Amino acid sequence: MKSKVKTVYVCQSCGSQSPRWMGKCPDCGQWNTLVEERVEKPKDIGSAKRGHGSEPLSLDAIKTGDEDRFVTRIGELDRVLGGGIVTGSVVLIGGDPGIGKSTLVLQMLRQVSAFRGKALYVSGEESPAQIKMRAQRLGVKAENLYVLAETSLDEVLRAADELQPQVIVVDSVQTVYTSELPSAPGSVGQVREVSGRLMLYAKRTGIPTFLIGHVTKDGAIAGPRVLEHIVDTVLYFEGDRGHAFRILRAVKNRFGSTNEIGVFEMKESGLAEVANPSELFLAERPKDATGSVVVSSLEGTRPILAELQALVTPTKMTMPRRTSIGVDYNRVSLLIAVLEKRV
């Protein structure tokens, strides 16, 4: 019996499906995000022979060892990951274009290939020559670092089977496609299918896989929301391209805390770790400055000192206005209310 193909409209922002086109997505509220896609219904396997799958195991019978996690030798990255890379895990890294995602993973692959063995960098956006030029600028020289410029998922998995690397990086997941779906690369269906098959491959082989993801104008990772549910860890690389400092933050981590942050500085030779962020944040603070105070914040296991500034001026408006930058406005309002009431 042939499988049936039906047409649905899929929101490119949240992945919700609708039988007809609508200008506004009923789930996420975004406008003009529904795109027509053809979906093939799965074949009926009721009469097919069922293969032997995995069997239930007693929790006490499952063995783990020290090799279930290994460090990248990049301290700030290891801190955010919870102590290193877990074998068979899938890590999604998102961030604005040009923020340094590719630079971070390339430096990580240099370390892994030097101390662990082969590493595979799959790029759907750059040619091998372009990657080589960037690696030379960063000082990356590694015989065990292999580059594959490919967008076909089948070819990526075939190369991984032949190479058997210690870690795989796919840059970016929105550029990889599978021929089993008729939709274009980067569509919700393609991203969902590609990420799902890469996750199954990582679990089956034990090869940790890093996926680089594009972000939308709202700062969310592009593609279906199921993408963030599939992976084990979701990292955001944040910062202003006009400044040199970058912050790596985990919003999901099945193998560690989501409270840790990693601080980097972008230099001509690549990303450099910032071991003491407090010194960095207070470096340009003038001594005894008016309207400035140093506050302490605990980020995971690391206390951080930062500067908090306040500017108060008379207003000609009927209603005075309060604004805040870098601090939640509702929290500021609550603190001011407590001070007015109790102090």
What does the pLDDT average to over 116-133? 94
Residues 6+ apart with CB under 8 A from 175: 124, 125, 151, 185, 186
Task: Tell me which CATH homologous superfamily contains domain 67-275.
Answer: P-loop containing nucleotide triphosphate hydrolases (3.40.50.300)
Are 194 and 177 in contact, with CB atoms under 8 Å apart? yes
Residue 14 above 80 pLDDT? no
Are 12 and 36 in contact, with CB atoms under 8 Å apart? no
- What are the structural domain ranges in the chain? 5-40, 67-275, 280-342
Q: How far apart are CA 183 and CA 302, in angstroms?
A: 46
Q: How confident is the model at residue 47 (pLDDT cuts 50, 70, 90)?
A: very low
Residue 138 above 80 pLDDT? yes
C-alpha distances in Å from residue 15, one per residue of 37, 81, 92, 234: 11, 27, 18, 18
Residue 65 above 70 pLDDT? no
Residues 6+ apart with CB under 8 A from 259: 299, 300
Q: How far apart are CA 290 and CA 312, in angstroms?
A: 11
Are 33 and 25 in contact, with CB atoms under 8 Å apart? yes
Spatial strand order of the sheet with 17-18 comes to 17-18, 5-11, 34-40
What does the pLDDT average to over 160-177? 95
Q: What is the pLDDT of residue 222?
A: 67
Which amino acid does the sequence have at 100? G
Of 339, 308, 313, give the one whose Cα is nearest residue 325.
308
Q: How confident is the model at residue 121 (pLDDT cuts 50, 70, 90)?
A: very high
Q: What is the mean pLDDT of the chain?
A: 87
Q: What is the pLDDT of residue 1?
A: 47
Q: What is the pLDDT of residue 182?
A: 82
Of 224, 225, 228, give the one whose Cα is nearest residue 211.
228
Look up the pTM and report it: 0.83
Q: Between 13 and 301, name the one with better pLDDT.
A: 301
Residue 40 above 70 pLDDT? no
Residue 33 above 60 pLDDT? yes
Residue 48 above 50 pLDDT? no
